């Protein structure tokens, strides 16, 4: 699946950061976040704002090495709750500015050296999902643009659920050898249906353009399928459908948690 234009990713990064900031400014910072067990809204806000600054520092310095997450400048949430929303959106702005300046120069990423644009895509999706976490915690329905949700599914299946930081591929344990998972999304606002086939072959786990069915298929609107894959919504949710061996899907979801 082609990566979305940088301008669209920047716009979504700004929009989801602003939406989360508005919620942070109006809700109790001690609010539990059920989809992130053990986290409060304050901890979620700190994580997102620090992640933006961490990615911005990697891009700004054109770092070829890992930077310690807790060492980034201005990585601490302000003590004054009234400043939390502004702190959050400022981090997103710094990241976007750094990305525009870097262009496609190579920088460190969890998957190895890659063009700096990796971080625009990664942080747009990261912010979308954590904004959804906060919205779910207050009882709101997350609204994720179909095109962004489909791109986040692609990134999750092909990059972030796979081997990162030089470690083994978690997907190999989550999907038994010889088995295949088919993911299919369709939305009125999406330019055509999108589909992925994740299969465990002798060469390892591969994500392919589907040329047949899998042992199990997960289908539905892109936002709902994304939330199922990332453990924010059960696979029994009304909007999605599961066809085939549900045990294969359950094992995949347990083995590739976000």
pLDDT value at position 240? Answer: 97
DSSP lists the bridge partners of residue 218 as 183, 242
Q: What is the pLDDT of residue 210?
A: 79
Going by their DSSP bridges, the two strands 216-220 and 180-185 should be labelled as parallel
End-to-end CA distance of the chain: 21
What is the structure's pLDDT at 7? 97
Relative to beta strand 106-107, strand 114-115 is: antiparallel
Question: Is residue 93 over pLDDT 70?
Answer: yes
How large is the C-alpha radius of gyration of the chain? Answer: 18
Backbone angles phi, psi at 164, to 5 degrees: -130, 160
Q: What's the pLDDT at 1?
A: 58
Residue 2 has pLDDT above 80, yes or no: no
> Cα angle vertex 225, ends 219, 230, to 5°?
140
Q: Which residue has the tokens 């067990």?
A: 37
| Structural domains of the chain in order of their starting residue, each with its CATH number | 6-143 (1.20.120.450), 164-255 (3.30.1050.10)
Q: What is the pTM of this model?
A: 0.95
Q: Give 185's strand partners.
A: 194, 220
């Amino acid at each position: 699946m082609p990566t979305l234009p940088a301008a669209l990713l920047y716009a979504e990064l700004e929009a989801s950061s602003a939406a989360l900031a508005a919620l942070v400014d109006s809700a109790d910072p001690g609010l539990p976040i059920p989809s992130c067990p053990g986290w409060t809204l304050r901890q979620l806000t700190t994580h997102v704002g620090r992640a933006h600054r961490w990615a911005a520092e990697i891009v700004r310095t054109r770092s070829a090495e890992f930077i310690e997450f807790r060492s980034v400048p201005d990585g601490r949430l302000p003590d004054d709750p009234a400043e939390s929303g502004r702190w959050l959106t400022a981090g997103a702005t710094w990241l976007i500015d750094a990305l525009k300046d870097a262009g496609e120069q190579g920088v460190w990423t969890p998957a190895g050296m890659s063009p700096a644009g990796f971080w625009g895509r990664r942080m747009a999706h990261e912010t979308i999902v954590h904004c959804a976490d906060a919205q779910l915690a207050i009882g709101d329905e997350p609204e994720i643009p179909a095109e962004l949700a489909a791109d986040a599914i692609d990134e999750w299946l092909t990059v972030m659920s796979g081997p990162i930081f030089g470690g083994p591929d978690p997907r190999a344990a989550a999907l038994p050898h010889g088995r295949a998972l088919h993911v299919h999304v369709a939305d009125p606002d999406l330019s055509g249906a999108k589909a992925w086939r994740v299969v465990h072959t002798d060469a390892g786990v591969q994500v392919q353009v589907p040329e047949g069915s899998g042992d199990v298929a997960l289908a539905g609107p892109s936002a709902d399928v994304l939330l199922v894959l990332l453990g924010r919504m059960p696979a029994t949710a009304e909007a999605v459908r599961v066809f085939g061996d549900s045990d294969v899907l359950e094992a995949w979801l347990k083995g590739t948690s976000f």
